[in-house]
């Protein structure tokens, strides 16, 4: 898998994504872009995109994000997720899995705001899953179909 340098800086309306790391595939972990999320010069969070599919992706998702608490409820996570959809499309990914913990209402709102988002299930994590080993037991699993989205 070849990382695309054109995505080292992604500029948005309210935020910019600045590449932090490009992690190669290691064991069960897929190649991953990791960006810091900035509003002007303020670090407001991070987002990552895992390229490919495996069991870990089904439960953990292709996308992960976190916004610093003092910057939440400003739409940064929603904007950041939409900003990385063209990266997935450039890597010939037609659909993305995205998940969250059932009690994470804010993340559910972000996920449900995405175009072509479909709820799949409330899944029990298998005992060998990283999340399970950290004490998590359930995940809400969604799929976002990006193949037909008009994104560049």
Contact between residue 3 and residue 33 where contact means Cβ atoms under 8 Å apart: yes
CA 74 – CA 53 distance, rounded (Å): 31
pLDDT, tens digit (0-9, with 9 covering 90-100), for 64-116 = 999 999 999 999 999 999 999 999 999 999 999 999 999 999 999 999 999 89
Rounded to two decimals, the pTM is 0.92
The residues, ordered by sequence, that sit 6+ positions from 75 with a Cβ below 8 Å of its Cβ are 14
| φ, ψ for residue 93, nearest 5 deg | -90, 125
Domain 5-145 belongs to what architecture? 3-Layer(aba) Sandwich (3.40)
DSSP bridge partners of 96: 144
Domain definitions of the chain by residue range: 5-145
pLDDT, tens digit (0-9, with 9 covering 90-100), for 13-30 = 999 999 999 999 998 899
């Amino acid at each position: 898998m070849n990382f695309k340098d054109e995505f080292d800086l992604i500029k948005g309306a309210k935020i910019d994504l600045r590449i932090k790391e490009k992690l190669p595939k290691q064991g069960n972990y897929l190649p991953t872009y990791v960006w810091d999320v900035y509003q002007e010069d303020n670090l407001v969070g991070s987002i990552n995109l895992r390229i490919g599919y495996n069991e870990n992706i089904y439960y953990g998702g292709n996308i992960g994000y976190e916004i610093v608490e003092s910057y939440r409820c400003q739409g940064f996570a929603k904007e950041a997720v939409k900003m990385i959809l063209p990266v997935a499309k450039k890597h010939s990914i037609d659909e993305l899995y995205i998940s969250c913990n059932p009690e994470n209402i804010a993340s559910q709102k972000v996920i449900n705001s995405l175009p072509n988002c479909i709820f799949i299930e409330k899944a029990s994590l298998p005992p060998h899953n990283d999340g399970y080993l950290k004490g998590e037991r359930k995940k809400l699993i969604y799929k976002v179909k990006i193949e037909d989205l008009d994104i560049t």
